[in-house]
């Protein structure tokens, strides 16, 4: 009956109803617990998780226990999920996107730089990342307008401008920061659980033609910043404690600030679906860099954290062809089109295509839910 949303999960989101504006709720089965009503803390009447997340780890633990009590005590006033509308779960402060899958980085290296080593020399020494655009992080279900931009088609010396012809997705996992840190003070790997509140699913929509032309030498820009979608329910770290797995062996040994006694990732089973058909099953357990290492790296220069910061893992791709988390990899740069069940083929996304990323942990006992979005036609220029 609870199907991934039982007492082991209890994810947080922001919902509204016909009779009330956005406020914080917990999902339990196919129902939503209105936390402001159930627990009386005004932080839960806010239209985002930020005031609650700012209260810190001890309070998160306390509230989780109280929610479990209320639900198992049968005293809870629950709303059916079908009566609520879900919103962006938190106000996104800063947004960082990493590149932590060795398979994804290797695949992209082979395609973008076929004549050199697929991994650049820095890749196994630091979690490569870039700062993204927090203002265009949108909730699941938001339509994605096909972006226009500069691209230089093959065989052409100069660029032109127009709607992207190589619109793609990236299957990613996002980590949501609750507790801030002061400017000038790095956050060590050991402080991960003091700062990170929970986990969501991320779709990093990517215009590959725009990206390929603009990314040298400063990295992703307009090929990424037009939209990033996230799932509506943030799964607390506690719910994923049983899904921890060691990262793959890290060699060479990382520098001391990136070391952990037992670097751990998460055994999450992800899925990528196009128009309802599953086309890939990326395994998060294969990610090279751990979430704590990404956080330590992001702050090692003294950059501060703010409540609501989101950092994403980068595309999750496993070693097998059916585990790749983007269409550029699944179709090998568009050279090997995917055959779909309806008889059509696809390289990159067409207008009207709907992409859904799903995720579960602990053999389905904990669901990360879904993040979905449909491609809308480009705005005429």
Q: Which residues contact residue 353 at a Cβ distance below 8 angstroms, ignoring those fewer than 6 apart?
A: 274, 275, 346, 374, 375
Please pick, from the candidates 97, 209, 309, 329, the single residue that binds Ca ion as defined by CB under 5 A.
97
Sequence-ordered alpha helix ranges (H) in the chain = 35-39, 50-53, 57-72, 102-112, 192-195, 208-214, 291-299, 327-330
* Known catalytic residue at 104: yes
At its nearest, how many Å lie between Ca ion and the CB of residue 95? 11
Using CA atoms, how far residue 299 sits from 99, 100, 186, 306, in Å, is: 16, 16, 5, 11
In the complex with Ca ion, the residue whose CB is nearer, 50 or 313, is: 313
At its nearest, how many Å lie between Ca ion and the CB of residue 366? 24
At its nearest, how many Å lie between Ca ion and the CB of residue 130? 9
DSSP secondary structure letter of residue 321: G
In the complex with Ca ion, the residue whose CB is nearer, 210 or 239, is: 210
- The interface region with Ca ion, picked from 9-17, 199-207, 236-244, 330-338 by CB under 5 A, is 199-207
Site for Ca ion in 156-195 (CB under 5 A): 170
| Catalytic residue (choose from 87, 104, 125, 131) | 104
Give the phi and the psi of residue 336 in degrees, each rounded to 5: -125, 85
Residues across the chain: 381
In the complex with Ca ion, the residue whose CB is nearer, 48 or 134, is: 134
Say how far residue 75 (Cα) sits from the centre of its chain.
Answer: 34
Please pick, from the candidates 91, 94, 102, 204, the single residue that binds Ca ion as defined by CB under 5 A.
204
Instruction: Report the distance separating Cα 251 and Cα 70, nearest Å.
Output: 47
Instruction: Return the structure tokens found at 182.
Output: 């002061």
At its nearest, how many Å lie between Ca ion and the CB of residue 172? 6
Number of residues that bind Ca ion (CB under 5 A): 3
At its nearest, how many Å lie between Ca ion and the CB of residue 237? 22
If phi > 0 it is left, if psi is from -120 to 50 it is alpha, else beta; for residue 112 that is alpha
- The interface region with Ca ion, picked from 83-91, 94-102, 209-217, 330-338 by CB under 5 A, is 94-102
Q: Does 103 bind Ca ion (CB under 5 A)?
A: no
Instruction: Return the structure tokens found at 98.
Output: 């990493």
In the complex with Ca ion, the residue whose CB is nearer, 94 or 204, is: 204
Kindly list the catalytic residues: 104
Contact residues for Ca ion, defined by CB under 5 A: 97, 170, 204
């Amino acid at each position: 009956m609870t199907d991934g949303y039982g007492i082991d999960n209890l994810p947080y989101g922001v919902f509204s109803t016909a009779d009330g504006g956005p406020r914080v709720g917990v999902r339990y089965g196919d129902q939503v617990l209105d936390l402001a009503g159930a627990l009386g803390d005004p932080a839960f009447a806010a239209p985002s998780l930020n005031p609650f997340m700012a209260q810190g780890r001890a309070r998160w633990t306390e509230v989780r226990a109280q929610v479990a009590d209320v639900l198992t005590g049968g005293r809870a006033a629950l709303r059916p999920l079908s009566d609520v509308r879900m919103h962006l779960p938190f106000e996104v402060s800063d947004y960082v996107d990493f590149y932590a899958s060795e398979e994804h980085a290797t695949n992209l290296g082979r395609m973008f730089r076929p004549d050199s080593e697929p991994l650049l020399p820095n890749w196994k020494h630091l979690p490569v990342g870039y700062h993204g655009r927090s203002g265009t992080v949108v909730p699941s279900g938001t339509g994605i307008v096909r972006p226009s931009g500069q691209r230089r088609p093959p065989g052409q010396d100069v660029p032109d401008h127009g709607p992207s012809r190589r619109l793609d997705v990236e299957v990613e996992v996002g980590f949501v920061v609750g507790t801030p840190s002061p400017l000038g003070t790095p956050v060590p790997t050991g402080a991960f659980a003091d700062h990170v509140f929970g986990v969501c699913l991320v779709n990093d929509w990517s215009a590959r033609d725009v990206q390929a032309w603009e990314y040298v030498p400063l990295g992703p820009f307009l090929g990424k910043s037009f939209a990033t979608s996230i799932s509506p329910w943030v799964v607390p770290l506690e719910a994923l404690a049983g899904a921890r797995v060691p990262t793959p062996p890290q060699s060479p040994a990382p520098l001391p600030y990136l070391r952990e006694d037992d670097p751990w990732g998460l055994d999450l089973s992800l899925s990528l679906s196009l128009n309802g058909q599953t086309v890939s099953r990326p395994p998060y357990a294969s990610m090279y860099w751990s979430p704590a290492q990404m956080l330590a790296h992001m702050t090692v220069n003294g950059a501060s954290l703010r409540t609501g910061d989101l950092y994403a893992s980068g595309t999750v791709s496993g070693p097998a062809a059916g585990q790749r988390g983007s269409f550029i990899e699944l179709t090998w740069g568009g050279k090997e089109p995917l055959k779909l069940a309806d008889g059509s083929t696809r390289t990159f996304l067409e207008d009207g295509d709907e992409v859904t990323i799903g995720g579960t942990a602990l053999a389905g006992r904990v669901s990360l839910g879904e993040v979905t979005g449909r491609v809308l036609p480009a705005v005429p220029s």
